[in-house]
A and B are shown apart, each in its own frame.
Chain A
Amino acid sequence: MKETQVVIVGGGPAGLAAGIEIAKSGGQVTVLDENKKPGGQLFKQIHKFFGSREHLAGTRGYEIGTKLLEETKELGVDVILDAPVYGIFEGKTVVYSKDGKQHQIKGDKIILATGATENTLAFPGSDLPGVMGAGAAQTMINVNRVLPGKKVLMVGSGNVGLIVSYQLMQAGADVVGLVEAAPNVSGYGVHASKISRGGVPIYTSHTVKRAMGDGEVSKVEICELDERFQMIEGTEKILDVDTICIAVGLSPMSEIAWTIGCDFTFIPTFGGHVPKHNENMESTISGIYVSGDISGVEEASSAMEEGRLAGIAASESLGLYSEEKAKELKGQVWNRLNTLRDGEFGEKRKQSKNVQISRYMEDANE
C-alpha cells in the first residue's frame, strides 16, 4: 500500500491550498479528486472576488484557480484526478477508485476538503428537464460555453442567484425574473443592483407554484407569499421561460466525515450539519482535519484560508514546523479569516464559526 504523510480528499480551493502549505513545509502530500480537472468550482467563477488585496480581491475566480494550480505544480504536490474516494478505513487508509480498480493510500494525517452540493426545491414539475441548479447553469455557460436555455427564471436571491443571473445575461440569455420567498433580497446589494439595472424584475415574497411543459420546461407559474410564507390565491402569474435555475443554498458534502465517526453540530448559517472542529481545523478524530465548505458553506476565499490553516496545523503535528513558527503562520491565517468574516454579512459567519469551535471545546473538556 502506498503511504504518505498527508492525504487530502478534494482538489478544490481548500484542498489545493492545504496541499500547498504542506508541500511548503517540506511534507509529503497527495490530493485525491473525483473530477478530471483540479480546481473544484473555481473555474466557473468568472466574477472578481471581494475582500482585501491579500485575498486577491479584484481577481477573477478562474485566475485564482490557475494560480493555485501553478503553485501546486511548482511545489510538486501529488494530485491524483478521476479518483473518487469512497471510504476511509482502519484509521487513516483512504480507499479510492481509479481506472476501474480499487486503490488504497495511507496517510499520517487526512484533510477532508470535499466541498458542498446544491440544494434543490420541490414543486410540481421540478423534475422536468430545464429545471437545474444555478451552479449547473453557471458551469454550462462559463466552463462549457453553452447556454442551458434562452429565457431563464432564477429562484433565490442569495449571492449565487444574483451572480449567476448576471452571468447568464453576460452569456446572452434573457433572465425573465428572479423569485425570492423572503421579503428582501438576501445577497449583496451591488449584485442585486447589477441585475436590476439590466432590467430583471426581482419578485420578493414570491415563490414558484409549478413548472409546466411537455417533457421539458416551457412555462412557469409563480405566486405571492404572505408573511407566513403561504401562497396567496389569485396572485398567480405565468411566465414564458424554458429554464428554471434553483439557487436556494448549498449543503456541506460530509458523507465521509459521518462514516468515520466525526462529531457533528447543527449550524444553519453553514448549511446544516457540520463537523465540530478546533482552531486548527482538526475534527473530533485526532489527525483528521476539515476545511472549506464541508466545515461550513462560505465561499472560495475562506475555503482557501481554512485549507491553509489545516495544512499548517497538519505540518506542525508532523513536526515539520516548530510550535512557535506554526503559531505565527496560523495567526496570520486567522487574521485574514477574521477580515473575511467582517462586516454586515461576515459577522454572522464569524459568530457561527466561534460556536462551531466552542462546541468542539465543550466536548474536549468533558
Chain B
Amino acid sequence: MRVVNHPILGEEERKEYVTIYYNGKPLNAMAGETIAATLMSAGIRKFRKTPKYKRDRGVYCGIGRCTDCVMVVNGKPNVRTCVTPVEEGMSVETQIGYGKGEE
C-alpha cells in the first residue's frame, strides 16, 4: 500500500529497490527506507510477540521511542525497525519474547 501519487508530495520519484527477507520470504524494499515502512507497504503489521502472553504487537510511535516494533534483524534482537533503514539481503524475523530463540 504505497502512496504513489500524492497531491502535495507529487509522484513517487524513488526508483531504487533492494531485497530483504521477512521470515525467509523475499520482499521488495525501497532503498533507504525503514524496515517498518517496507513491512507495512506489504501489509505486514505483526512485528513481534510479547514475552508473557505472546500477543502480537506492531508499530506504535514510528519514531523510535516506544520500542513496540522491535524485531530480530540479521540475528540481532531488539532492533527498532521504525528507525532502522533496510539493506540489501537483510534478514528480518518476527521477535518472539526477548528474541533469544524459542521461549
Query: B residues 1-45 with Cβ under 8 Å of A?
Result: 1-4, 6-9, 12, 33-34, 36-37, 40-41, 45
The answer on a CB contact under 8 Å between B61 and A136 is: yes
Report Cα–Cα, A177/B50, bound state, in Å. 30
A136→B33 contact, CB < 8 A: no
Mostly, the B contact residues are: loop
CB nearest neighbor in B for A47:
B8
Question: Contact between A171 and B3 (Cβ–Cβ < 8 Å)?
Answer: yes
Per-residue B-contact encoding for A215-245, CB less than 8 Å = 1, 0 else = 1100000000000000000000000000000
Is A128 close to B, CB under 8 A?
Answer: yes
Number of interface residues of B (CB under 8 A): 34
Which among A133, A150, A172 is the interface contact of B60 at CB below 8 angstroms?
A133
Residue-wise interface mask of A (14-56) relative to B, using a CB-CB cutoff of 8 A (1 in contact, 0 not)? 0000000000000000000011100001000010000000000
Q: Which of A140-148, A263-271, A310-318, A352-360 touches B?
A: A140-148
Q: In whole Å, how far is B83's beta carbon from the nearest beta carbon of chain A?
A: 7
Residues of B within 8 A of A148 (CB): 40, 45, 59
CA distance A171 to B1 in the complex (A): 10
Task: Check B62–A133 contact: CB distance below 8 A.
Answer: yes
**B residues within 8 A CB of A130?**
45, 58
Nearest Cβ in chain A — how far from B15, in angstroms?
Answer: 13
Q: How far is the CA of A130 from the CA of B43 in the complex (A)?
A: 11
Chain B residue contacts of A135, Cβ below 8 A: 61-63
Contacts of B36 in A (CB 8 A): 140, 144
Inside 8 A of B2's CB, which chain A residues have their CB? 145-147
| Chain A hits for B59, CB < 8 A | 129, 132, 136, 140, 148
Sample (27) of A-B pairs whose CB atoms are under 8 Å apart: A35-B83, A36-B85, A117-B65, A118-B61, A118-B65, A120-B60, A129-B45, A129-B46, A132-B58, A132-B60, A133-B60, A136-B59, A136-B63, A136-B82, A137-B62, A139-B62, A140-B36, A144-B37, A144-B41, A145-B2, A145-B4, A145-B9, A145-B12, A148-B59, A170-B8, A171-B6, A216-B58
Residues of B participating in the A interface, judged by any CB pair closer than 8 Å: 1-4, 6-9, 12, 33-34, 36-37, 40-41, 45-47, 50, 55-66, 82-83, 85
- Top 9 A-B pairs, shortest CB-CB distance: A129-B58, A136-B62, A144-B37, A147-B1, A129-B45, A145-B3, A139-B62, A146-B41, A215-B56
